Amino acid sequence: MTAISFSQILASPLLARLLVLACATAIFLIVRRKDTEGQAAAFIATIGLLVMRDLLVMLFPIAELQNLSDIFYFGFALFIFLAPFKKARIPLIAVLVVNVVVAALYLSTIFAGFAAIPGWGVGALLVADAAFMALMGLLNSRDAERGSHHIVSDSWIFSTAVLMVYAVLALALGHGSAVFEGLIVPVSYGWLVAAGLVGMNILDQQTLAAVSYYEAAIDSLYNLSFRVGTVLKGSFSTEDVIASMNEVIVEETGADGGSIYLVDEFDDVIIAKALSGSFPPPFLLPESLPRKQNRVESFMRHAQFRLGETVLGEVAKTGKNLYAADVAADGRFPGNGEEDFLRLSSFMAVPLMVEDKIIGVSAVSRSRPGTPFGEADFDRLKLLANFGTLAVSNFFSFLEATERNSIEQTAGIAAEIQRTIIPKKLPQFQSLAIGAYSSPARGVSGDYYDLIRTREDKIVGVIGDVAGKGVSAALIMVMIRSILHLITNTNRDMATVLDWVNKGIAGKIDMDHYATLGLIAINIVTGELEYANASHQPLLIYRRASDMVETIDMKSVPIGVERSTTYQRKALRLYDGDIAVLYTDGIVEVLNEQGKQFGRKNLSQLIARHKDLSPKDIVGRIKQEVSKFIGTARQHDDQTVLVFKMKL
Amino acid sequence: MELKIRKNGNNYIIDVNGEMDLYNSYKLKELVMKMLEKKVEHFIINLENVDYIDSSGIGALIYICSTIKKMNFRLIITNIHGSVKKVIELTKLMGYFPITNSIEEAILQMEE
Amino acid sequence: MSDKTYLSDIKEIRVNENSPLFDKTGMLYKEFPSDYRQIRYFTLLIVQSAPLEIKEINLLEQQISEVIKNAVKHGNQCDLAKKVKVWYSFDSTHAHLIVQDEGPGFKDLEKWNDFNRKRLEILSAQDFEKLADFVSFRTLKSDDNDGGNALFAALEYWNGGFVFNDSRNAVAMLKKYPQKKHAIT
């Protein structure tokens, strides 16, 4: 044992060795972070062994220790380079056993004095080990997978060479040699550094490859978003959107053609929504279909299958991907013929999913033989199908929400239209008082009422019920109102007015265009009354003289049914205290909780009961009574009442 | 319902506008009969602007189809959509009527 | 492909006075004179109570108009004095209707079922030649304006049942609307 001083350490070969080992350690620590196969760990263990060995040797510079440690050193190296290869396992174990045996014998030589192994014996063993490593490396490299890079497979050549040189020089020079200790050994550790660098290079390559893969994937996603987005901006049609998604998928997978199918909203069928390029049928065509290109293409463009029917229906039903790189070898595809447009060489189909629901299938095909779809193409298809579906379904959820919105919006528009045509103020006269109320059942009312001052002495009361709901009903209302306002101040009788309204509406419009109408024209000076009716509820007149309510009706047909309909009128007269009432179905046909109708009789009695009240108050009472009658039952129909009271 | 006629080569295209219901379907029948008298042999009935059809309308189409078949002339019905398509599907006549999805396809098929 | 009819799918018009479809509780009611000109108007009066969210409301309107037409024309012979009574109820999941006329009833119901059965057999064999004779059901009373195909569609459309009473002058039907599978239309 020699005392150690700092300068001695500096001068000793330990520093050089430790520096090299430190470099290698640093490199392998970096590699280890990303190394999934644990090879880095083995290298680091070897480095650790060497560090320990060198420290020990510095403290106890005994050649025997060095020799022994070399056996362990080479044992580790053998393990690193041969363990990854299954075929080399048995020879490896055999060699390691030999090494252990030699080491044991060597130990016994040192301590027990058996001269079993001479000093050069270890060296010979090391050379043999190195040779063995070289041989195995050669054999294994022939078996190695093409293209896969591992530290071991990429560095075995120079590592083995360096170790071989080490071993030979160890044998020739021995550990006693200063050149060996000071130069050869530290430099030889360089193979660890080199191996580490090889490892880092491999990691770099992998990172680059991944980056390049993701770049391509992102490019394709961008392409998809851009194309589909452009279509979405211009068109809300599903066909256009799905068609552009299909085109991008065909392009990005390098397919010859492709098609997208969507599951029907309600039935268990999938229907082709887009087709582009050459997409031969992956199933048997019906016998009756002529095998001509345009007929087949037309058939495929509109094809539909039940879930489970044909390979496409299978994908739609099970949600399992279909990847048939070589269609000819795949038993699921019946041939339809050898013509270009019927031949299929490679095929892929994936389900389109929204959350957990299968909403469709995207399929692509190649026709030219010898050009199968690769794994990368399959990955690309899955990526684009998923992303595309997500984007498109988000859009359609948005559309659905706006459609619901627009249903509410159209109700809003209809209500607006109505607001503008319902009379804001009821005209009142010395001799004639008027009351009115209108209450819609749900949203927009189909009821219409109006009061038109046609002459100094004449007022026309209108009541109507337009069939249908929403904007079209509101528009019919507007048309009727316009016509009425135009013609009531001609001196025509009310029957003629109805004729003209009817001719203005019937047979001209494509949408639903029916309405009932009741018209009364009252002369506020004389009390003369003219009544015409187009299938509306009959007029009720309370007569003060007899304290009775008369029902004035006529057989007629609603406005809009037939252009040729002619309408009738009745001429009557109102006297002081008489009350004329126009109303809609919603009043007399309203049901209470027991399902009984309010009825015209009830209404008549109600009017008679309140004969002394003003029209405004009579209307109020009617409203009250009907409300009481309904109770908790729902109001199904719009309710409107118009009351006229004569005060001559 | 309005009916318009236009020509494309030997093909006469009848554009139907409006609803084919129990009140007006007879008009299409009458028109086709008149055209047959005038020796028209190739008919394409375009239902692009028809949103409503009932059993009378289907009946008119059936009558027209069978008459034209009997005379060995050609008929194709195109552009059916929405509830019109639905009604033809419900009556299971999709295979009975010669139907194409567009006028272009109809003209192609006529030439075969 | 979707036109194929499997023999097990053959439907027929049934007669069952006690069917729950004839239960009128909670239904609204309207009655009409048997005026042929107003058939579409009457239909509109009924359909306007249906919620706006029902898809294909056009189709519902058409199917209802067929039943009312049958009642007006074949049941009541377009006699203005005779009434057509309609009970109806709608919501977003179903449409339920009962239509009754004052006529002698659908006497040829059994003949119709036989005719339809033959028709469906011919369809499942895809024999379009023979089909020509089975596209329209005609009786002595049929005229030029009768398509003879309304009931074929009705049996398919009213998927909750389509059933007559014992006198065959009232028919009850139910349409169940499936809930949408997904938003993409």
The residue ranges of every structural domain in chain A are: 6-205, 251-400, 425-646
Q: How many CB pairs under 8 A join A and B?
A: 8
- Which residue pairs, CB below 8 angstroms and at least 24 apart, start in A390-396? A390/A354, A391/A224, A391/A225, A391/A228, A391/A229, A392/A228, A392/A241, A392/A242, A392/A245, A392/C184, A393/A354, A393/A359, A393/C182, A393/C183, A393/C184, A395/A232, A395/A241, A396/A238, A396/C183, A396/C184, A396/C185
Note the pLDDT tens digit of each residue in A379-394. Answer: 999 999 988 888 777 7
A238-252 helix and A190-234 helix, angle to the nearest 10 degrees: 150
Note the pLDDT tens digit of each residue in A475-513. Answer: 788 888 888 888 887 778 899 999 989 988 886 666 668
How close C28 gets to chain A, by Cα (Å)? 9
Q: Which chains touch A (3 or more CB pairs under 8 A)?
A: B, C
How close C157 gets to chain B, by Cα (Å)? 7
pLDDT tier, C4 (very low <50, low <70, confident <90, very high otherwise): very low
Across A119-123, C73-77, C104-108, C119-123, least confident range: A119-123
Q: How many CB pairs under 8 A join A and C?
A: 75
Looking at residue A509, what is its pLDDT? 63
Looking at residue C105, what is its pLDDT? 92
Mean pLDDT confidence for B2-17:
92
**Assigned CATH topology for domain B2-110:** Transcription Regulator spoIIAA (3.30.750)
On whether the CB atoms of residues A561 and C41 are closer than 8 A, the answer is: yes
Chain B residues with beta carbon closer than 8 angstroms to that of C177: none
Q: Reply yes or no on whether the pLDDT at C100 is more than 90.
A: yes
Helix (H/G/I), strand (E/B), else coil: A366: strand
Q: Reply yes or no on whether the pLDDT at A46 is more than 90.
A: no
More confident site: A61 or A357: A357
End-to-end CA distance of chain C: 21
Mean pLDDT confidence for B78-101:
89
Of C28, C52, C180, the CB nearest to A470: C52
Of C131, C147, C156, the CB nearest to B90: C156
Q: Reply yes or no on whether the pLDDT at A421 is more than 90.
A: no
Who contacts A431 (Cβ-Cβ below 8 Å, separation ≥6)?
Answer: A524, A525, A527, A646, A647, A648
Mean pLDDT confidence for A455-472:
87
Q: Reply yes or no on whether the pLDDT at A5 is more than 70.
A: no
Q: Where does residue A639 rank: exposed (0-12), middle (13-18), buried (19+ CB within 10 A)?
A: buried
Note the pLDDT tens digit of each residue in A127-182. Answer: 888 888 888 888 777 766 555 667 777 888 888 888 888 888 888 877 777 777 77
The answer to whether the CB atoms of C184 and A512 lie below 8 A apart is no
pLDDT tier, A365 (very low <50, low <70, confident <90, very high otherwise): very high
On whether the CB atoms of residues A300 and A292 are closer than 8 A, the answer is: no
Domains and CATH numbers, chain C: 11-105+149-176 (3.30.565.10)
Calpha distance A502→B99 (Å, rounded): 38
Note the pLDDT tens digit of each residue in B72-85. Answer: 999 999 998 888 99
No. of helices (H) and no. of strands (E), chain C: 5, 6
More confident site: A366 or A74: A366
The answer to whether the CB atoms of C48 and A306 lie below 8 A apart is no
Most confident by average pLDDT, A255-259, B88-92, C5-9: A255-259
On whether the CB atoms of residues A220 and A255 are closer than 8 A, the answer is: no
Residue B18 at interface with chain A, using a CB cutoff of 8 Å: yes
Residue A306 at interface with chain C, using a CB cutoff of 8 Å: yes
The answer to whether the CB atoms of A407 and C52 lie below 8 A apart is yes
Q: Reply yes or no on whether the pLDDT at C71 is more than 80.
A: yes
Which of A239, A265, A291, A298 to substitute to test the interface with B, most B CBs within 10 Å? A298
More confident site: C34 or A219: C34
Residue C183 at interface with chain A, using a CB cutoff of 8 Å: yes
Mean pLDDT confidence for B1-16:
92
Which candidate, A442, A506, A455, places its Cα nearest to that of A480? A506
Residue A474 at interface with chain C, using a CB cutoff of 8 Å: no
Q: Which chains touch B (3 or more CB pairs under 8 A)?
A: A, C
pLDDT tier, B110 (very low <50, low <70, confident <90, very high otherwise): confident
Q: What is the mean pLDDT of chain C?
A: 87
**Residues present in chain B in total:** 112
Across A47-51, B60-64, C41-45, least confident range: A47-51
pLDDT tier, C10 (very low <50, low <70, confident <90, very high otherwise): low
Looking at residue A57, what is its pLDDT? 78
The answer to whether the CB atoms of B105 and A302 lie below 8 A apart is no
Calpha distance A306→C2 (Å, rounded): 7
Calpha distance A392→C184 (Å, rounded): 8
Looking at residue A7, what is its pLDDT? 61
Looking at residue A117, what is its pLDDT? 66
Q: Reply yes or no on whether the pLDDT at A84 is more than 80.
A: no
Q: Does domain A6-205 have CATH number 1.20.1070?
A: yes
Of A359, A411, A636, the CB nearest to C184: A359
Chain C residues with beta carbon closer than 8 angstroms to that of A390: none
The answer to whether the CB atoms of B91 and C149 lie below 8 A apart is yes
Looking at residue A339, what is its pLDDT? 82
Note the pLDDT tens digit of each residue in B12-43. Answer: 999 999 899 999 999 999 999 999 999 999 99
Note the pLDDT tens digit of each residue in C127-185. Answer: 888 888 888 898 888 888 888 899 999 999 998 899 999 999 999 999 998 766 665 65
Most confident by average pLDDT, A210-219, A257-266, A548-557: A548-557
For residue C83, the surrounding DSSP H or E stretch is strand C83-91
How close A495 gets to chain C, by Cα (Å)? 20
DSSP letter (8 states) at residue A613? S
Calpha distance A550→A547 (Å, rounded): 10
Locate the chain A residue with the closest alpha carbon to B50: A510
Note the pLDDT tens digit of each residue in A558-614. Answer: 999 988 899 999 999 999 999 999 999 999 988 888 888 899 999 999 999 999 999
Q: What is the mean pLDDT of chain A?
A: 85
Which of C59, C135, C155, C159 to substitute to test the interface with B, most B CBs within 10 Å? C135
Residue C10 at interface with chain B, using a CB cutoff of 8 Å: no
Who contacts A149 (Cβ-Cβ below 8 Å, separation ≥6)?
Answer: A202, A205
Token pair of A351, please?
């389900």
Q: Reply yes or no on whether the pLDDT at C112 is more than 60.
A: yes
Q: Specify the CATH number for A425-646; select among 3.40.50.1220, 3.90.1170.50, 3.60.40.10, 3.90.650.10.
A: 3.60.40.10
The complex scores an ipTM of 0.89
The answer to whether the CB atoms of B62 and C149 lie below 8 A apart is yes
Token pair of A395, please?
């859009």
Kindly tell me the sign of the dihedral angle through the C-alpha atoms of A316, A322, A327, A329.
negative
On whether the CB atoms of residues A498 and A519 are closer than 8 A, the answer is: yes
Across A4-13, A470-479, A483-492, least confident range: A4-13
DSSP letter (8 states) at residue A64? H
Task: Work out the percent of chain A whose per-residue pLDDT is above 70.
Answer: 92
Looking at residue A65, what is its pLDDT? 78
pLDDT tier, B59 (very low <50, low <70, confident <90, very high otherwise): very high
The answer to whether the CB atoms of C136 and B62 lie below 8 A apart is yes
pLDDT tier, B7 (very low <50, low <70, confident <90, very high otherwise): very high
More confident site: A387 or A442: A387
Which candidate, A84, A74, A172, places its Cα nearest to that of A126? A74
What are the sequence ranges of the domains in chain B?
A: 2-110
The answer to whether the CB atoms of A302 and B108 lie below 8 A apart is no
Looking at residue C6, what is its pLDDT? 42
More confident site: A544 or A288: A544
pTM over 0.95: no
On whether the CB atoms of residues A478 and A569 are closer than 8 A, the answer is: no
* Domain A251-400: assigned CATH number: 3.30.450.40
Looking at residue A87, what is its pLDDT? 76
Which candidate, A283, A376, A380, A409, places its Cα nearest to that of A335? A283
Residue B22 at interface with chain A, using a CB cutoff of 8 Å: no
Which candidate, A372, A278, A284, places its Cα nearest to that of A323? A372
